[in-house]
Structure 1
Amino acid sequence: MLRALDIRDMLIIDRLELAFQPGLNVLTGETGAGKSILLDSLGFVLGWRGRAELVRQGAKQGEVVAEFELSPDHPAHAILDEAGIPSSEELILRRVNTSDGRKTAWVNDRRCSGEVLRALSDTLVELHGQHDDRGLLNPRGHRAMLDTFAGLEGAVSETRAAWADLSRARKDLEQAEAALAAVRAEEDFLRHAVAELDQLDPQPSEDAELDARRRMMQGAERIRDDVARAFALLGGEGAEGAMGDALRWLEGVSDKAGDQLDEPIAALGRALIELGEAQDGVAACLEALDFNPAELEQTEERLFAIRALARKHDVAPDELGGFAETLRTRLNQLEAGDADLADRRATLTRAEAAYDAAARALTAARAEAAGRLDKAVMQELAPLKMERAVFETSMTQAEPGPEGRDAVAFTVATNPGAPAGPLNKIASGGELSRFLLALKVCLRGDDSSRTMIFDEIDRGVGGATADAVGRRLAALAQGGQVLVVTHSPQVAARAAHHWRVQKQVSDGQTLSTVTPLDPDERVDEIARMVSGDTITDEARAAARALLGA
């Protein structure tokens, strides 16, 4: 609900503060007094696209602040949460327009974009008028309006979910078919590559092991003679024999030398143990260096084969085993491919059947609701002096989509036998206003979360018809808030709250002011609307009669 509107330096408004109330609020005044400027200013703070030049002449910037009251379950809270803006029961929108055209917006003192403002505005305000393309006159929204009228939110959600399943099944099948086609296109290569890799059967770390073995064999001939000579010098004819002889000689005389030879004899014993270990190590080396020349050739052939295959497939030698598994998996897709495609086609068939059932049920529900809506609108048209007009909700088949396969459009025929057509193409100004009002009364339901604004929707009607329009607007405002810009005294008389918009010239400047009216001032304003500039006693009497009706 719109609580307050504060406008500064916008067009011909220097400073204006308005406090709106629940129920029916009307704005009246002479043509050109500035009523449309109020709507332009409200649209500006809500992010709507409108006039390019809004800043009052001579001012550096214009500013509009709008204060809304939100219920705990108001849909604006979700938009605020998504935008990272704190929300409460009070929502304050502020937007500034500088004289050079720059625009800046804040929501609850947080900077925000025009997109956030427009998203919020869709939950806060509905604007209806003869040139309104955001609401009832826009055929793109008619299907959603019919669904809301019929309470089909659950059926629409079910159809949307079925469409998501169907889209996913189609995508899965297309991807599987493409993947299988790609595998089939390279089947010969895969089979040859896998056979080649299986035949070679490269093992992890084998490249490094083969390379080390090859290097050792290549150097074996150069070092084996030296190792063999060293081994001979360590044996019984060399160091081992000499140390053994020395140990025996020392042990033979140790008892005559006291304890002076004990430590040398022990050291020689330890040395003989270490010498034995050295002999074992050198012997093992000699054994390793003792190879068949054919083994070097075999080692080199396998090493070069592994490296050649790695270069061929552009992978590291140690990755050949994993690469083979990858190719083998792709080959297995060929064998399982047909069965997998069959499963996916069966899933798609089930998804198509589920979507078809949901869409058909939704179409039937919409058709039934369309008949009820047509009947309800026709009942509303009679008091508006349009009992000869025909309203019809047209349903045609459209391309399938998330919300079914129905195209919905509200059509009218102003006279029996006349061709039906879109609302904004067939009806005249006054007829269009009454169509819109009747339709809105039927579509409103229990939704009172948005403030409805009617911009001169009563243009072109008067007398009893204007009175019927006023009564419908008053009924529409019950439990919510409706703002009406009107030139009709019959509509103004139905208001719970009344403001007069005036244009004044002060110090060579034309400024617009808005004044809340007390009961006596309302009589004079409605009398003016009845009789014109000269307010007569008869006009006041007529005004009192309208107010008391």
Structure 2
Amino acid sequence: MLRSLEIRDILIIDRLELGFQPGLNVLTGETGAGKSILLDALGFVLGWRGRAELVRRGAAQGEVVAEFDLPHGHPAFAVLDEAGLDAEDGTLIMRRINTVEGRKTAWVNDRRVSGQVLRELSDTLVELHGQHDDKGLLNPRGHRTMLDGFAGLDTALAETRAAWRQVAAARKALDTAEAALAEIRTEEEFLRHAVAELDGLDPQPGEEADLDSKRRLMQAADKVREDIAKAIQALGGDGAEGRMGDAQRWLEDASDATEGALGPALDALSRAQVELGEAQSGVAAVMDQLSFNPAELEMVEERLFAIRGLARKHNVLPDELGNFAADLRAKLGALDAGAGHLDVLKAALNEAQITYDTAADALGLARAEAAERLDTQMAGELAPLKMERAVFATEITEGAAGPEGRDEVAFTVATNPGAPAGALNKIASGGELSRFLLALKVCLTREARGLTMIFDEIDRGVGGATADAVGRRLAALADEGQVLVVTHSPQVAAQGAHHWRVAKRVENDQTLSEVLPLAADERTDEIARMLSGDTITTEARAAARALLNG
């Protein structure tokens, strides 16, 4: 419930403090006195979109503070908890400042918050019906959302949205796979030829370098063999091996005479002979390698050139041909397995579609049941508003499938039996429209807890007994909570439990707005003014007292 509203330097209000009460609170005053400014100020602190320039002329900044009492379990507690805010004692104080430069700053219970937090809180605190129906009751695009809120279909909507996301994901996966498969199919001839060519050659990592080294060795083999043969001869029996053997025999013959002095030399000579033998073996092995068939050089060159040719053809390094071949095989494998994979994805899409259809059908059925309840409740609301012959109907038609089902919802009315039904704003007159919207607002918010309902000139276009019926319905509605009404109707004003008059005054050449709470006798004069104009007659006062006494 809105407990108080404090406004400083907003438009034509310099300073204003209002204390609201449970029940029906009415605000009256002449046109232009500033009644709508109060709603602008309240909308500002609640984070609603409104006028761009709010700061009173000559002031540095404007400020609005609204205090709400929250009963236990009020939906605002969930918003506060999500934002990390505290309101354990049930008091919620919202404060917002607007500087003359346009900067806006907001606090909730002395903690800085964003405008988004204000708007989320306002959805749980206040329901406004303004002169232009800014909540969209007249906009058919919002009727489905209103019906869903009336029916409490949050769970069913969540299930349908989740199923829709699964359908979208499954369809995207199938489309992606089909596109990829189609792209691979355009390369099928190339893939099969390239894989066969690469598999036939089977190049190995490092093979190109080995073949190149072997080729160069073979090409230089004739000259190399001649030099190695000379080396073999120099190391053999006619060369180093024979001379070392002679030296060893001569030294051994002289060893006894030298009493062992030649021992170390003989040992070194023995080791040298071992090393010489290893050198001979290594040279002989290389000599054997250089003994090849001339055709072998041709084979080496042919394979080397084939590897290099394929590398150039596919624009890769020779050592990368193996990995390149593996990539091509993977694409070819995907192509060969593509049909089976598509079948799996099609089955997944079909399953997701069945799940969505089931959820959308259940949601549609719940909407149809809710539409009947809403139509019944609307009939009950219209009768006390002098519209017992009018017919309100919630029409549900099948539309395009989407995340919130396949239903299109529109609220239609027929003002008289047998008259064609149509959209609210096209069929109903001004007074009828006001009463339709009042009834609809009451029905749609019937289950809302702790909601302050605000009606801005809901009585426009009606008078006499009809205005009295509107006032009595607002009073009955206020018995269950708090209702604020801005009105020009004396019949509606008379039903108020609390009454404020909005007036203008001129001070220092500035026009300012003030709001005054009215005592019993002051209420009589205000309602008499609303009946007769600026000159209040005795008859007007009598009529005002009659209205106040019911």
TM-score (norm 1): 0.85
Output one character per residue of 1:365-420: Cα deviation in whole Å (capped at 9) or x when no partner.
Answer: 32232122111101111111111211111122211212222111111122233322
Worse-matched range after superposition: 71-80 or 308-317:
71-80
- Structure 1 residue aligned with 2:85: 87
Amino acid paired to 1:338: A
Amino acid paired to 1:87: L
CA contact (8 A) 1:254 1:262 kept: yes
- Compared CA separation, residues 180 and 488, structure 1 to 2 (3 A): same
Output one character per residue of 1:240-273: Cα deviation in whole Å (capped at 9) or x when no partner.
Answer: 4333433343333334334533333333333333
The DSSP-based 3-state class of the residue aligned with 2:384 is coil
- Structure 1 residue aligned with 2:56: 56
CA contact (8 A) 2:65 2:93 kept: no
Amino acid paired to 1:254: S
Worse-matched range after superposition: 528-537 or 122-131:
528-537
CA contact (8 A) 1:65 1:94 kept: yes
Output one character per residue of 1:140-182: Cα deviation in whole Å (capped at 9) or x when no partner.
Answer: 1211222222333333333333333333333333333323332
Any unmatched runs of 5+ in structure 2? Answer: none
- Compared CA separation, residues 192 and 255, structure 1 to 2 (3 A): same
- Compared CA separation, residues 74 and 230, structure 1 to 2 (3 A): farther
Worse-matched range after superposition: 367-376 or 355-364:
355-364
CA contact (8 A) 2:499 2:518 kept: yes
Amino acid paired to 1:398: G
- Give 1:14 shift: 2.7
Is 1:96 equivalent to 2:95 in the alignment?
A: no
CA contact (8 A) 1:384 1:468 kept: yes
- Percent of aligned pairs sharing the same letter: 68
Matched residues, number: 543
CA contact (8 A) 2:24 2:482 kept: yes
Amino acid paired to 1:233: A
CA contact (8 A) 2:384 2:473 kept: no
- Structure 1 residue aligned with 2:489: 488
2: CA distance, partners of 1:403 / 1:393: 18
Worse-matched range after superposition: 437-446 or 487-496:
487-496
CA contact (8 A) 2:137 2:437 kept: yes
Alignment of structure 1 residues 239-388 onto 2, 5 Å = 239-388=240-389
Alignment of structure 1 residues 211-226 onto 2, 5 Å = 211-226=212-227
2: CA distance, partners of 1:260 / 1:18: 128
Output one character per residue of 1:181-220: Cα deviation in whole Å (capped at 9) or x when no partner.
Answer: 3233332222212221221122233233333333443444
The DSSP-based 3-state class of the residue aligned with 2:55 is coil
- Structure 2 residue aligned with 1:143: 144
- Structure 2 residue aligned with 1:458: 459
Cα-Cα RMSD: 3.6
- Compared CA separation, residues 442 and 269, structure 1 to 2 (3 A): same
CA contact (8 A) 2:493 2:499 kept: yes
- Compared CA separation, residues 159 and 86, structure 1 to 2 (3 A): closer
- Give 1:477 shift: 4.6
The DSSP-based 3-state class of the residue aligned with 2:27 is strand
Amino acid paired to 2:218: M
Amino acid paired to 2:42: L
- Compared CA separation, residues 64 and 248, structure 1 to 2 (3 A): farther
2: CA distance, partners of 1:228 / 1:78: 97
Any unmatched runs of 5+ in structure 1? Answer: none
CA contact (8 A) 2:9 2:61 kept: yes
Alignment of structure 1 residues 447-526 onto 2, 5 Å = 447-448=448-449, 451-477=452-478, 481-495=482-496, 498-516=499-517, 525=526
CA contact (8 A) 2:414 2:421 kept: yes
The DSSP-based 3-state class of the residue aligned with 2:184 is helix
1: CA distance, partners of 2:405 / 2:33: 47
Is 1:210 equivalent to 2:211 in the alignment?
A: yes
Worse-matched range after superposition: 435-444 or 533-542:
533-542
1: CA distance, partners of 2:295 / 2:284: 22
CA contact (8 A) 1:126 1:135 kept: no
The DSSP-based 3-state class of the residue aligned with 1:383 is helix
CA contact (8 A) 1:410 1:422 kept: yes
CA contact (8 A) 2:395 2:409 kept: yes
The DSSP-based 3-state class of the residue aligned with 1:447 is coil
2: CA distance, partners of 1:345 / 1:531: 76
CA contact (8 A) 2:55 2:98 kept: no
- Compared CA separation, residues 187 and 480, structure 1 to 2 (3 A): farther
- Structure 1 residue aligned with 2:422: 421
- Structure 2 residue aligned with 1:43: 43
Is 1:430 equivalent to 2:431 in the alignment?
A: yes
Output one character per residue of 1:289-324: Cα deviation in whole Å (capped at 9) or x when no partner.
Answer: 444443333223222222222232233333323332
Alignment of structure 1 residues 157-172 onto 2, 5 Å = 157-172=158-173
CA contact (8 A) 2:459 2:487 kept: yes
TM-score (norm 2): 0.84
CA contact (8 A) 1:383 1:465 kept: no
- Structure 2 residue aligned with 1:30: 30
Alignment of structure 1 residues 57-206 onto 2, 5 Å = 57-64=57-64, 74=75, 86-89=84-87, 90=92, 92=94, 94-99=96-101, 102-106=102-106, 110=112, 112=114, 121-122=122-123, 124-206=125-207
- Compared CA separation, residues 74 and 282, structure 1 to 2 (3 A): farther
Is 1:395 equivalent to 2:393 in the alignment?
A: no
- Compared CA separation, residues 272 and 527, structure 1 to 2 (3 A): farther
- Give 1:441 shift: 1.6
- Give 1:121 shift: 4.9
Output one character per residue of 1:28-79: Cα deviation in whole Å (capped at 9) or x when no partner.
Answer: 3322111112222333445544434433333445454556677777478569
Amino acid paired to 1:15: R
- Compared CA separation, residues 195 and 449, structure 1 to 2 (3 A): farther
CA contact (8 A) 1:130 1:429 kept: no
- Compared CA separation, residues 377 and 111, structure 1 to 2 (3 A): closer
2: CA distance, partners of 1:381 / 1:322: 79
